[in-house]
Amino acid sequence: MSREEMDALAKERLVGIARTWYDQMRDGIVPFIRLPTRTKRNIEYDDASEVWKYGERESTRAATNEKGAVHLLKMAYLIGFLKQQLVENRSSTLRELYYISEGWKKAKFGAQDESNHLIEDLEIITEVQREAFHLRPEEDGASVFGPLRIRETTRRGVKEMHCQEDVGEAGYPIPNNVDNLEFVDHDAKFVIAIETGGMYARLMENGFDEEYGAVLVHLKGQPARSTRRVLRKLNDSLGLPVVVFTDGDPWSYRIYASVAYGSIKSAHMSELLATPQAQFIGVQPSDISDYNLPADHLTEQDVSALKAELTDPRFATDYWRSQINLQLEMKLKSEQQAFASRGLDFVTKEYLPTRLSEMGII
């Protein structure tokens, strides 16, 4: 679909929400919308797409009281702004949108989270992603380094580059809109998504990408949507296996879950964002004892998060139950960089090759 066609579709679906409210009022019905509840109790595994999506539980937001009326008022102002933005072929960040609402009087957003949440509501109702509204996040996507040639369409034309030969040590920065990105060719065997910048730089310095034909993707912590879309695209269009390498703590396991299963917050976008075939390398709780890694004691928050993951359907596998229960028993967590205690080359010469071989990647 061309940009012009996508703009027209986004505008039509936004206006369609207002048209529905008009029809409701014309028929004597108090305006309302229905949306799925966004909790882990309302995500279900879809066999066809192999991702987690929202279930059938819904909540209704109606103008039957002041709170509901103000909510719909804010959504109406937001729809009007986005429609005009599309007409003028402009764009804005999520943060700019929050400040733009300062002039909307009673429709002004009380916090950034409120405006973000409303954008997600519009994505669910329209079945169109926020990039089609010409909205972009404040943070950028992360970066890619490896044997991959890409072509990107920008406002200044088309550029093509090799993600080893034509980029600096930071790698190729992933654009916000991945629809403008095309993979031209590659010599890669797999993709490794890495949580921390330190480990990303370590694999690059040690030549891991060249030795094993690996595309390195720096996640920058909890990955941006654009980063997750690139991982999905590398897996789908090039058929490359994707593995995820994070710290060994409950918050990092959720990074893996957002890549492989989709996040609860954006379950309506799971088919675009999640890579169901992505596998977890580590750091595993069992690695802490197997490799005698330096470790820290779990905090109360860590323990609570691990116990919550035991009730999260995305972690309802024998592997994750055994690893999480082992960590609760050990009461320890460790970081990727802890492998440096065994030498700067250990992670690329010993640990990763061993794990990748066990997983059937190499």
DSSP per-residue letters across 238-285: H---EEEE--BSHHHHHHHHHHHT--STTGGGHHHH--TT-EEEE--H
- The pLDDT value recorded for residue 284 is 93
Which stretches of the chain drop beneath a pLDDT of 70? 1, 40, 42-53, 138-141, 263-271
Which listed CATH number (3.40.50.300, 1.10.10.60, 3.10.180.10, 3.40.1360.10) goes with 143-358?
Answer: 3.40.1360.10
pTM: 0.73
How far is CA 100 from each of CA 15, 27, 140, 189, 302, rounded to the nearest angstrom? 20, 33, 21, 46, 38
Tell me if residue 253 is catalytic: no
> Which residue in the block uniquely carries the two structure tokens 């010469």?
349
- The pLDDT value recorded for residue 300 is 93
Q: Are 207 and 349 in contact (CB under 8 A)?
A: no
**For the chain, domain boundaries:** 3-136, 143-358
User: Which own/partner pairs from 273-277 qualify as long-range (CB within 8 Å, at least 24 positions apart)?
Assistant: 273/225, 273/228, 273/229, 273/232, 274/51, 274/52, 274/228, 274/232, 275/228, 275/231, 275/232, 275/235, 275/242, 276/49, 276/50, 276/51, 277/50, 277/235, 277/241, 277/242
* Cα–Cα distance for residue pair 125/119, rounded to 1 Å: 10
Q: What would the pLDDT profile of 83-121 be if each residue is shown by its tens digit?
A: 998 988 888 888 888 888 888 888 888 888 888 888 888
- The pLDDT value recorded for residue 58 is 79
- Active-site hit among 45, 54, 98, 99: 99
Q: Average pLDDT of the chain?
A: 87
* Cα–Cα distance for residue pair 236/233, rounded to 1 Å: 5
Q: Are 224 and 137 in contact (CB under 8 A)?
A: yes
- The pLDDT value recorded for residue 327 is 94
CATH number of 3-136: 1.10.10.10
Q: Are 178 and 151 in contact (CB under 8 A)?
A: no
- The pLDDT value recorded for residue 45 is 65
Q: What would the pLDDT profile of 277-299 be if each residue is shown by its tens digit?
A: 899 998 999 999 899 888 999 99
- The pLDDT value recorded for residue 249 is 94
